[in-house]
Structure 1
Amino acid sequence: MSTSGRSPLSLAKQTYAASLKAAGRGLVKTGLAKETAPPVEERWRHWAHSLTKVYDSLAMAKLDVPWWTYDAISAVDAWLSERDRPIRVFEYGSGASTIWLSRRAEEIHSVEHHKGFGEMMQRELAGEEKISLRVIEPVASDDPVVPSQKEGHAGLDFEAYVNAIDDVDGEFDVVVIDGRAREVCLEKAKDRLAPGGIIVFDNSRRRRYVEAIAASGLKETIHAGLTPTLPYPERTSVLTKG
Structure 2
Amino acid sequence: MQLVKRSYAGVMHAIADLGPMAKLTTLARQSDEYGWLRWAASLFAIHNIDRMIALGLPWWNVAATREVAEYLRARPNARVFEYGAGASTIWLAQRAASVVSVEHHAGWHRRLSGEVSRHSNVRLDHRALDGDAYINAIDEAGGMFDLIVVDGRRRNECLARAIPRLSRGGIILFDDSGRNRYRDSIRSCGLKERRHFGRSYCVPYPDFTSILHA
Q: TM-score, normalised by structure 2?
A: 0.93
Alignment of 1:123-138 (within 5 A): 123-138=114-129
Structure 1 position 196, deviation (Å):
0.2
Structure 1 position 89, deviation (Å):
0.3
Q: Which residue of 1 aligns with 2:149?
A: 176
* Contact 2:34/2:62 (8 A) holds in 1: no
What are the superposed Cα offsets for residues 118-146 of structure 1, whole Å, 9 maximum, x if unpaired? 1100122124221000111223xxxxxxx
- 2:200 aligned residue (220, 227, 237): 227
Structure 1 position 53, deviation (Å):
0.6
Quick one: structure 1 residues 11 and 208, their matched pair in 2 at CA, closer, same or farther if it must change by over 3 Å?
closer
Structure 1 position 32, deviation (Å):
8.1
Quick one: structure 1 residues 51 and 182, their matched pair in 2 at CA, closer, same or farther if it must change by over 3 Å?
same
- 2:85 aligned residue (88, 94, 108): 94
Q: Which residue of 1 aligns with 2:136?
A: 163
Quick one: structure 1 residues 32 and 193, their matched pair in 2 at CA, closer, same or farther if it must change by over 3 Å?
closer
Alignment of 1:1-242 (within 5 A): 9-26=1-18, 29-30=19-20, 33-36=23-26, 37=28, 38-41=30-33, 43-83=35-75, 85-139=76-130, 157=131, 159-241=132-214
Write the distance in 1 (CA, Å) between the matches of 2:139 and 2:122: 17
Write the distance in 2 (CA, Å) between the matches of 1:203 and 1:34: 27
The structure 1 segments of at least 4 consecutive aligned residues displaced by more than 4 Å after TM superposition are: none
What are the superposed Cα offsets for residues 76-134 of structure 1, whole Å, 9 maximum, x if unpaired? 11111112x41100000000110001010111000001111111001221242210001
* Contact 1:58/1:95 (8 A) holds in 2: no
**Structure 1 unmatched runs, 5+:** 1-8, 140-156
Q: Matched residues, percent identical?
A: 41
What are the superposed Cα offsets for residues 148-167 of structure 1, whole Å, 9 maximum, x if unpaired? xxxxxxxxx4x110001111
Q: TM-score, normalised by structure 1?
A: 0.83
Aligned partner of 1:160: which letter? A
- Give SS of 2:136's match: helix
Aligned partner of 1:89: which letter? V
Superposed CA RMSD in Å reads 1.6
Write the distance in 1 (CA, Å) between the matches of 2:181 and 2:188: 11
Aligned partner of 1:35: which letter? T
Write the distance in 1 (CA, Å) between the matches of 2:169 and 2:22: 46
